[in-house]
Amino acid sequence: MEHTGEEVRIAVFDLNGTFYNKHSKDEFFKFICAKEPSKAPYFFQMAYYEILKKLHQISKTEFKENFFNYLDHLSPGQVHAYAEEFWAQEYPANFNQALQNRFAELKKDSVQVYCATGALELYVSPLFRLYPVDGLVGTRVKYENETYKVIGKACKDEEKILRLDALFHGKPYRIVEAYSDSKEVILNEAEKAYLVEDKELVPYKEQLEA
């Protein structure tokens, strides 16, 4: 079915190292270990998978699936409850104030704000009850045999664009601004793109020209 109507203007931001000043996959692990000390030995397994990823021995999806093995045997409800507590202690102190100010301006100009992250939606979604956004696309997982399996692909690179396309169900949209802490595909799709460096917003085109 073909959709018609006014084009939706959106701003898209990455989470880790961008809107959130830290990296949630590491910080959430520390938090879980404080709650469940038996999870601490997973650190060595996680380090192993980090090495495999850097050596390009596993895909980004395989990395996500194995890195989060420390969540094994924790039901989605339990992970969600821990995530609510985790984000409540992190927000707003550890979030980029410049981005929050910019998002407030964009919202006043009727621009919708979306988070597109490689992190698991499972533990990220409670954050956006504290800081509401128009939508979230992240890595989706299912709980199967007491472990988490990635649904489809990890929400990285081109997958972010595909996930946004699916979210809009064919309705026309335009990325007016995009933010990330690293050079990624979605920055090239935006009219204005920014890299977040030391919490500062640096125009992406200037980075390309440098």
pLDDT digits (tens, 9 = 90+) for 119-169: 999 999 999 999 999 999 999 999 999 999 999 999 999 999 999 999 999
Token pair, residue 191, equals 């009219």
Task: Return the pLDDT at 8.
Answer: 97
**pTM for this predicted structure:** 0.91
Q: pLDDT at residue 74 above 70?
A: yes
What is the rounded distance in angstroms from the CA atom of residue 62 to the CA atom of residue 155? 12
Give 6-63 pLDDT, tens digit per residue. 899 999 999 999 999 999 999 999 999 999 999 999 898 889 988 998 888 999 899 8
Q: Which CATH entry fits the domain spanning 8-209: 3.40.50.1000, 2.60.40.10, 3.40.50.2300, 3.40.920.10?
A: 3.40.50.1000
Contacts of 104 (CB under 8 A, 6+ apart): none
Specify the pairing of strand 147-150 against strand 141-144: antiparallel
pLDDT band at 5 (very low <50, low <70, confident <90, very high): low
With helix as H, strand as E and coil as C, how does 25-39 read?
Answer: HHHHHHHHHHHCHHH
pLDDT value for 210: 46
Task: Give CA–CA dist 23/20, Å, rounded.
Answer: 7
CA 173 to CA 8: how far, in whole Å?
Answer: 4
- Taking the C-alpha atoms of residue 150 and residue 93, their distance in angstroms, rounded to an integer, is 31
CA distance linking residue 36 with residue 73, whole number of Å = 11
